[in-house]
Amino acid sequence: MTSRISPLDLLNNSTKPYINVCAPMVRYSKLPFRELIMNYKVDLTYTPMILAKEFKNSRVARDFEFTTNKNDTPVIIQFASNDNVELLKALEFVVGYVDGVDINCGCPQKWAIHEGIGAHLMEEPEIVRDMIRTIKGSGLNIPTSIKIRIHNDIKKTHEFVKRAEVAGLDFITVHGRTRRAKSSSPVNVMAIKLCKESINIPLIANGDVFSLKDAEKLYEVTKCDGVMSARGLLKNPTLFTGLEYTSWNCIEKFVKLSIAYGTNHFIFHHHLMYMFEDVMSNAERKTFNALTSIPAIIDHLEENYGLQI
């Protein structure tokens, strides 16, 4: 059986300048994709954001939201919560099957803000502190992190990360945009750099990493301990290897993993739409994007790319 890998060992003892990290992505960073990218120099993966309350209360939710296997390491489970008791009870279901827990303090979606979770927590440092302390005082002995966005006033971000560190946080991920910033707006790299200089725990930098050069540049400016990619890895799961677009070998591996694990049509199709974005012509992409079933997708790949299942 594969031994579990601690994210803290990676962050503190890596022989590389920084580790490569796949972001938690709603719907997308599930088991088949996590297993795929570990073949392409990704060092650490995250589950999608999971609502702690639903996960705690529902066996159906637990079976749907989190699947794993012996090779799924190191993996961080990310929970969205604003209740320390619910968070701890949700975490207790997965202890031994994950290598760390992350509290989502950065989801900018309106529904999350309304529910008092995600980026709303950037205005509630006491709640975040209590959740960190509850996990660290539980005896579960699990590495704990938070993923945040920055405030408009960078001084508030500085205070926020310092308070989280004092509460017992093991490491932190900083996305260099505010909760209201569009994904097309530039990342505030200097804000990430300030956070890194403000704390004595590892920091993972996040935002606009679409190539290996982007990752290297982000590290050079921030001196972070890890570089995280989200949309970049969706489009090109091989980006940390230096390839500029998704190889056919990578796509074929993803198809086989998805079929083996029973990925649903929507997620399967959308992953492939991202991966083929720079590979297909506009005409073929239009045809491919209109396919409505997994068999139709498989037929297309067999006929046009020689896919062998």
CB-CB neighbours of 235 under 10 Å: 18
Alpha helices per DSSP H over 106-211: 110-114, 125-136, 154-166, 189-198
- Angle, helices 125-136 vs 84-92, to 10°: value is 40
Which stretch of DSSP H or E encloses residue 100? strand 100-105
Is residue 107 annotated as part of the catalytic site, yes or no? yes
List the binding residues for FMN.
Answer: 24-26, 78, 147, 175, 230-231
CB-CB neighbours of 270 under 10 Å: 14
User: Which candidate in 22, 107, 195, 250 is catalytic?
Assistant: 107
User: Do 146 and 172 meet the contact criterion of CB atoms below 8 Å apart?
Assistant: yes
Enumerate residues 6+ apart whose C-beta is below 8 A from 170: 8, 100, 143, 144, 145, 201, 202
Rounded Cα gap, residues 64 and 309, in angstroms: 25
**Residues identified as active-site:** 107
